[in-house]
Amino acid sequence: MSTPEQWDLVVLGGGSAGIVAAKTAAGLGARVLLVERDRTGGDCLWTGCVPSKALLAAAEAAAAARGGARLGVDVADMQVDFGRVMAHVRAAIAEIEPVDSPAALAEAGVTVRHGHARFTGEGTLDVDGEPVHFTQAVLATGAAPALPPIPGLADVDPLTSDSVWDLPEAPRRLAILGAGTVGCELGQGLARLGVEVTLVEGAPRVLPREDADAATAVHRALEADGVRLRPGRSVTAVEATGGGAGSLRLEDGGSIGFDRLLVAVGRRPRTDDLGLDAVGVAVDDRGFVVVDPRLRTTNQRIRAAGDLTGHPQFTHVAGVHGSIAASNAVLGVRRSVDTAAVPRVTYTQPEVAAVGIDTGRERPGVRLLTLAHEHVDRAVTEGRTDGLTRLAVDRRGRILGATVVGPRAGETLGELALAVRRGLRTRDLAGITHAYPTWNDGAWHAAIADVREQLARPATRRALHGIARTRRWWLERRAG
């Protein structure tokens, strides 16, 4: 271990939250040690965002080849080479990995140590038998895929979002437990690459946390890509037949056969075996670290950032957490986490992007503005009019939430996240000149329609007409 002997900040975990925290603290002049058990880069780089989006890019290319006839282009005899697809996935990881590497961290002034860290007392921890002394610490060990307690599940060696990338070849039949973001993305992607996919969800519909109309659009798209959907089905047992194959036994008496099973039902925090009891860091009944709005744990010298906090489990949230936790620790400032405008995107086709309050239900004092994408010229030109843009606004026209369904919905969401965060009104959005034709026209036209509706209200219309008449009288008098 290199000097100094006493570290200003020790960061446990080298994923997105830990990397941002360590680099932020080092940039502020702190002496920083980052301890990572496995490899820096975290789930986002190795098993999450990067590989999944690389896979979806290949799947989109396959779908575009098959669907070309819709736009007047026929591509015959399209073949999928799953080995080359996975090579593309690995290449994407390799290209991005240097940004998160120990060498990049060292260049930023962070010392990296590989090993298992465990707190041993106030201001001390053990890294593979070697004591480390610190003034403050940031917990950023993330979360791992959760496996539900279903009888027989372990007997089929279930895949997760961590291990699916190790498949040497595509299974003929794949069953997926969970139709949230991960299940829908991987289900559609693998179906487009030729896998027979069955998606099983205990809730009544896919994407149960999203706007129901958005979920319906994704449901239809999944079916169009050949995914067999089984919403509202509870799995009571798994029966193995060997080699990872087996069948799901459903509560209604039915069964679903598979060659491999992928479990995508959520994630659990990696907070075991960290010695949290030794330093008085409390966790809740699910194992998530208890934090206040400034990311302090119940030990005031230790902060937590990212997926293990129970906050929304997104890479962008983890990065913001890391910055806040590090600057609060090193500078003594009191920055707080804002969870009111956290954007989220499901990268299916169509994409589902949302921010702010739920746009899927009515509530007092909130109006829902919906624009079907058959009124968005870019959607018409690309033959993709199955989407929608929906804004939730208050009585003053302030944008409180938004859902966008369609190609590049995640890109459109940036403008709407800013609107929610800054309390902008529909008239503010309508007053911005947007490039034409773009997918952002959906949000823009929804805002324009709302402004026009406000101007058409009787009292407003009378006032405006009165001003126009006065103006006309004044101009006529001036001309005469």
61-70, 102-111, 153-162: least confidently modelled range: 61-70
Give 126: exposed, middle or buried? Use CB within 10 Å, 0-12, 13-18, 19+. middle
Give me the pLDDT at residue 65, please: 79
Q: 365 pLDDT exceeds 50?
A: yes
Give me the pLDDT at residue 70, please: 56
Neighbours of 91 (CB within 10 A): 11
Q: pTM of this prediction?
A: 0.92
pLDDT category of residue 198 using cuts at 50, 70 and 90: very high
For 261-281, give the DSSP string: EEE-S-EEE--TTS-GGGGT-
Hey, what amino acid is at 227? V
Fold of 350-455: Enolase-like; domain 1 (3.30.390)
Tell me if 111 sits within 8 A of 34, measured CB to CB. Answer: yes
* Domain locations in the chain as residue ranges: 6-143+268-331, 153-266, 350-455
| Main-chain phi, psi angles of 11, to 5 degrees | -110, 125
User: Can 153-266 and 350-455 be said to share one CATH topology?
Assistant: no
Contacts of 283 (CB under 8 A, 6+ apart): 269, 271, 276, 289, 290
Residue 207 CA to residue 177 CA, distance in Å, equals: 13
Give me the pLDDT at residue 2, please: 46
Q: 76 pLDDT exceeds 70?
A: no
Residue 261 CA to residue 197 CA, distance in Å, equals: 10
Q: 75 pLDDT exceeds 80?
A: no
Averaged over 45-61, what is the pLDDT? 95
Q: 203 pLDDT exceeds 60?
A: yes
Give me the pLDDT at residue 1, please: 44
Averaged over 397-410, what is the pLDDT? 97
Q: What are the tens digits of pLDDT across the range 245-270? A: 999 999 999 999 999 999 999 999 99
Hey, what amino acid is at 128? D
Beta strands in 266-381 (DSSP E): 267-269, 302-304, 344-346, 351-356, 366-372
| Main-chain phi, psi angles of 447, to 5 degrees | -65, -45
Residue 358 CA to residue 213 CA, distance in Å, equals: 12
Tell me if 304 sits within 8 A of 325, measured CB to CB. Answer: yes
Q: Which of 57, 255, 89, 85 is nearest to 175 (CA)?
A: 255
HEC profile of 16-83:
HHHHHHHHHHHHCCCCEEEEECCCCCHHHHHCCHHHHHHHHHHHHHHHHHHHHHHHCCCCCCCCCCHH
Beta bridge partners of 247: 239, 257
Q: What are the tens digits of pLDDT across the range 463-472? A: 878 888 888 8
Averaged over 197-208, what is the pLDDT? 97
> For the domain 6-143+268-331, what is the CATH code?
3.50.50.60
Choose the CATH number for 153-266 among 3.40.50.300, 3.40.640.10, 3.40.50.2000, 3.50.50.60: 3.50.50.60
Produce one character per residue of 147-179: b if its CB has 16 or more CB atoms within 10 Å, e if not. Answer: eeebebbeebebbbbeebbebeebbebbbbbbb
Residue 336 CA to residue 299 CA, distance in Å, equals: 17
| Main-chain phi, psi angles of 125, to 5 degrees | -150, 165
Which token pair is 7? 């570290």
Q: What are the tens digits of pLDDT across the range 443-467? A: 999 999 988 887 777 777 788 788 8
State the average pLDDT for the chain. 93
Which token pair is 377? 């010229």
Whether the upstream peptide bond of residue 437 has omega within 30° of 0, thus cis, is: yes
Q: What are the tens digits of pLDDT across the range 292-327? A: 999 999 999 999 999 999 999 999 999 999 999 999
